[in-house]
Amino acid sequence: MDELELLKKDWKAREKDLPRLKASEIYPMLLKKSSSIVKWIFIISIIELALSTFLNIYLADDEFWAQVKNIHFKNVMIGIYIFSYLATGVFIFLFYKNYKNISTTDSASQLMKNILKTRRVVKYYILYVLVSSGITMILYFVFSIMYPPAGSGIDPEKLNWGWALLIAIGVTLLFLTLLWLFYLLVYGILLRKLKRNYKELKKLEL
Amino acid sequence: MKRLITDQSFVLKKELENTFVQLLEKNQNIVHKVCRIYTNDQDSHNDLFQEITIQLWKAYPKFRGDAKFSTWMYRVALNTAITLYRKQKRAPKTQDYESVHYKISASGYDDTIEQQLKVMYAAVKELNDIDKALVFLYLEDKNYREISETLGISEVNARVKMNRIKNKLKNILNP
């Protein structure tokens, strides 16, 4: 006899040993909060989107704009701001749309695909934030050397540009790498099991 | 007027809740069985049951009568176990005594059906989440079409995969 048939028979026989909940025990369960990974991914993503938007607004005070004007960077900065708000808007829209698509009534493979797709949008957003802040930081640095504020003691004529740029890029990269590592850690923990299962299903499609 | 609408939606919600709880109470075996195959101790079993109940309740407004409630439940319950549920870290004292017990028996020479079953249950517990889902649906008498639809793979792939699992189990039993 097929081993699995044997197991099937026993599996059915053991059905009578299953716990049996009363309706009155099920009602309170409906009020409990979910702890599913989708919920956590959603919460963390919202925090990420909100935090970077908040920082964008909070850091741009009058003093900042005065400084930007001083180094002839204002027009470029306004351009960057307009672009970044548009980009954030598009990302939020995409994220929300993908999140809405996540449904537990899909097939397991489709569900995993949708969750990973949602995550990917936020991943691209983080990447976009990192790259665009990197470019902005370096541009800001270049402009402030080209048009040094009075009393800064910088003379663009005598400056060793090679070294100055190298330091600027180095500091920017270090900052971005730290952020990236932190990000990997958070999602590594959250998505490990999902990725493993998804790979398992993917293997079947080959 | 606003009050009236709120009252009405409250009544509707209550009705929805009652029907749902009745359906779940009637079909709860499915959820218990998913919990049984995916968890090793009573605490985790209860945790997973709770999470599946929440997911079922969340998806219930979208449930249309065109599918059978039980078929729909298999899908949501398995999806929760495979994809959404993150096992809580627990103290070792709640470690599964069952599987430890199986492992000890497996090393003995007793060859009764009882022993074979114990070894097979232990082997199923060792499978990955996807294989477990396949075995589970198979044990539940689902055909390959249903298995392939629930997991989102082709019927051929489901068959191939199932044969591999069968061989694996056979090898464990007759080394």
B165 → chain A, closest CA residue? A4
pLDDT band at B111 (very low <50, low <70, confident <90, very high): low
Q: How many alpha carbons lie under 13 Å from residue A31 in its C-beta half-sphere?
A: 5
Q: Which amino acid is at A48?
A: E
CB–CB contacts below 8 A, A to B = 146
Of A16-25, B3-12, B21-30, minimum mean pLDDT range: B3-12
The alpha-helical segments, DSSP class H, found in chain A are 3-13, 23-31, 37-59, 62-70, 74-101, 108-146, 161-205
B112 touches chain A (CB under 8 A): no
H or E segment and range at residue B61: none
A154: its two tokens: 């910088």
If DSSP codes are grouped into helix, strand and coil, which group holds residue A193?
A: helix
Q: Say if residues A118 and A95 touch (Cβ distance below 8 Å).
A: yes
Q: Say if residues A133 and A53 touch (Cβ distance below 8 Å).
A: no
For the stretch A58-76, pLDDT in tens is 877 888 888 888 888 888 8
φ and ψ of A2, to 5 deg: -55, 130
The verdict on a CB contact (< 8 Å) between A200 and B76 is no
The verdict on a CB contact (< 8 Å) between B124 and A196 is no
A59 touches chain B (CB under 8 A): no
For the stretch B117-156, pLDDT in tens is 888 888 898 888 999 999 999 999 999 999 999 999 999 9
Residue with the two structure tokens 């009573």? B42
Residues in A touching B17 (Cβ below 8 Å): 27, 30
Q: Which residue has the higher pLDDT, B3 or A175?
A: A175
The verdict on a CB contact (< 8 Å) between B128 and A205 is no
φ and ψ of B14, to 5 deg: -60, -40
The verdict on a CB contact (< 8 Å) between A7 and B120 is yes
The residues, any chain, with a CB within 8 Å of residue B67's CB and separated by 6 or more, are none
Q: Is the pLDDT of residue A1 over 60?
A: no
ipTM confidence: 0.77
Q: Say if residues A186 and A179 touch (Cβ distance below 8 Å).
A: no
pLDDT band at A182 (very low <50, low <70, confident <90, very high): confident
A159: its two tokens: 């400056």
Q: What is the pTM of this model?
A: 0.79
Percent of chain A scoring above 90 in pLDDT: 11
Query: How far is A180 from chain B, CA to nearest CA, in Å?
Result: 24
Which B positions 55-74 lie with beta carbon below 8 A of chain A?
55, 57-59, 62-63, 72
User: Alpha-carbon torsion A31, A34, A39, A40, what sign?
Assistant: positive
Closest partner CB to A200 (pick from B28, B32, B130)? B130
H or E segment and range at residue B147: helix B144-151
The verdict on a CB contact (< 8 Å) between B139 and A15 is no
The residues, any chain, with a CB within 8 Å of residue A186's CB and separated by 6 or more, are A44
Of A115-129, A144-158, B122-136, minimum mean pLDDT range: A144-158
Which residue, among B14, B114, B130, would best test binding to A if mutated, counting the most A CBs under 10 Å from its CB? Answer: B130
A189 touches chain B (CB under 8 A): no
Residues in A touching B21 (Cβ below 8 Å): 23, 26-27, 30
